[in-house]
Amino acid sequence: MASYKETPRQKMIAMMYLVLTALLALNVSKEMLNAFLVVNESMESNNKSFSGKIENVYSEFEKQFKLSPVKVGPFYTKAEKVQRETDKIITYIDSLKNALIIASEPKITTVEQAMNTPLKEIKNKDKYSEPTRFFFGRSVSGENGESGKLKRKLDAYRTKMLQAIGESPDSERLGLITNKKYYDKDGKEQTWMQHNFYYTILAADITILNKLIGEIQSAEFDVVTHLFSDVTAEDFKFDEVDAKVISPNSYILKGQNYEAEVFVAAYDTKQTPTVYVKSGSSPITDADIESGRARKITGEKGIVNLNFDGSREGVHEYSGVIEMRSPDGEMVRYPFSSEYVVAPPSLTVAATKMNVFYIGVDNPVSISVPGIAAEKIRATITEGCTLNKDPKNGNDWIVRVPRGLRKAVISATAQVDGKRENMGSREFRVKRVPDPIAEVAGKKEGPIDRNTLLAANAIIPQMKDFEFDLNFVVNSFTMATVINGDWIPKTTRGNRFSNEMKELIRNAKRGQKFFFENIQASGPDGTTRTLNTVNLTIE
């Protein structure tokens, strides 16, 4: 068989597997069980960290594919297939872990519970009967159980990975080899399934499955990096070369400079290209170059940095050519054109509920500047007011304004090119919270059943057509009615009917009117309001 040099990660996985095998050979004491948990947590953490490293390789692969789809395409297609196959088998192993936990732990009945329950919290983690039954079914070798199915999927995956890099099926590269000879402590030959899962406790099984995921990730990384290395610098020297214009930001603020990189993708970096550039969209001619109308800029390593004045607002077009020497020594030109926008500083401040700030309540506000990240914006407000980040939504702010102000101004600065620039300000009117509408049983006037009025037993202040969720408290009110031509008023504190009031209502006759007036209520801004009169007639 062909030999290969193991990566540091593969050596680490092999070492952890030796530790795991040693643990399996010992009686499962509490200390040994804790050791399994430590090894498993280490494997899970390592697998999660390594997946990020693999994603970086795919990201770089995609970047090169976009630059040269014709040359990179065949390798990138293989890499995409590798990613799909890897995601498929890792998803399968994750589902296997969840099914194993559900089969072994009676209190866990759903996949969601299995996914969210740490191994150390599983009661039957030191039991082996159910795990063995799960992996072997009715077969002694494990061939017809879940362990046999897992082995076949690993073998198929390994074969596909070897094919992707042109290795023979008997190569030892990539690991994941399941056809070795295994022996038990008595020297009797075992299958791969028996060696890994026969009469092993649940904690060991989960650790082994996570170890297999780690080996799969190592194989994926090996294959993808191999495919990426096949895309050499020579592969990027294609026949038709297009000039590329890359700008960090084509939308800039007044006073900033527009910057862009113009380069020939994957060309010889030993070249020192020259760029001729001018304003306008018309192509550059020899006359432009000879007369000096086109500005000359010399670059290095195949890249030229462009820098334009950003003092004039508006859309600015430019065109140019890159001069480079071809492999046969001839000087060739590659034309390009692009544009950039210079805009004045633009602060956007919007009250997310209304166009004013209300006294005594939390006023939500969004503050942004087009083209500027939120963390680079610093906002201030008129003295006496407060402006803080919304704890429920970190992208918004909360404004509170005191009594006595008629307006509040929010101003902002932003970090731009290492300097703090003024982004402008926005003025808001300050108003007190509008009066609520006093209601009894949901009514402020009209007919009402006597029993309904008694059951209501209170005056409720309601905020009508108001966006904020706030409450007013009724401090006192007077209920009055006419009995035998006499005006009978009764006053009480709070919002509930007094016993005297309820007695008058019980003895009321059809057509008798009740007036709830002089309703005093306090709001979140600390002021006391006199609310509307409620006029009800017994029906």
Q: Is 146 a residue whose pLDDT tops 90?
A: no
Tokens 């009715």 correspond to 138
pLDDT of residue 234: 41
Residue (of 313, 317, 307) closest to 254 by Cα position: 313
Average pLDDT, stretch 289-295?
A: 82
Query: What share of the chain has pLDDT > 90, as a percent?
Result: 20
Helix, strand, coil percentages for the chain (3-state, nearest 5):
35, 30, 35
Distance from C-alpha of 400 to C-alpha of 363, rounded to nearest angstrom: 6
CB 349 within 8 A of CB 414: no
Structure tokens at 166: 């042109």
Average pLDDT, stretch 311-320?
A: 79
Q: Is 328 a residue whose pLDDT tops 70?
A: no
H or E, element range at 334: strand 331-343
Confidence band, pLDDT 50/70/90 cuts, at residue 492 = very high
Q: What mean pLDDT is reported for the chain?
A: 81
Please state whether the predicted TM-score (pTM) of the whole model is above 0.85. Answer: no
Strands 348-351 and 314-325: unpaired
Q: Is 498 a residue whose pLDDT tops 60?
A: yes
Interval 17-74: pLDDT, tens: 555 555 444 444 556 666 667 777 777 787 888 788 888 888 888 888 887 788 888 8
Average pLDDT, stretch 364-389?
A: 86
In order, the DSSP letters of 122-165 are -TTTT--HHHHHHHHTT-SSSTTSHHHHHHHHHHHHHHHHHHHT
Q: How many CA atoms lie within 13 A of 459 on its CB side?
A: 36
Residue (of 248, 251, 249, 247) closest to 346 by Cα position: 251
Distance from C-alpha of 176 to C-alpha of 163, rounded to nearest angstrom: 15
Same fold, 243-343 and 348-431: yes
CB burial readout 198-220, b (16+ within 10 A) else e: bebbbbbbbbbbbbbbbbbbbbb
CB 470 within 8 A of CB 523: yes
Residue (of 211, 148, 192, 185) closest to 20 by Cα position: 211
CB burial readout 264-290, b (16+ within 10 A) else e: bbbbbeebebbbbbbeeeeebeeebbe
Domain residue extents for the chain: 8-234, 243-343, 348-431, 437-538
Q: Of 48-57, 327-336, 471-480, 506-515, give the lowest mean pLDDT range.
A: 327-336
Give the list of residues 6+ apart from residue 237 with CB closer than 8 angstroms, or none: 266, 267, 268, 327
Q: Is 238 a residue whose pLDDT tops 60?
A: no
What is the fold, at CATH topology level, of the domain defined by 348-431? Answer: Immunoglobulin-like (2.60.40)
Confidence band, pLDDT 50/70/90 cuts, at residue 494 = very high
Confidence band, pLDDT 50/70/90 cuts, at residue 320 = confident
Instruction: Report which of residues 282 and 236 the model is more confident about.
Output: 282
Q: Of 165-179, 333-347, 374-388, 466-480, give the lowest mean pLDDT range.
A: 333-347
Q: Of 24-33, 101-110, 199-208, 345-354, give the lowest mean pLDDT range.
A: 24-33
CATH number of 243-343: 2.60.40.10
Which of helix, strand or coil describes residue 64?
helix
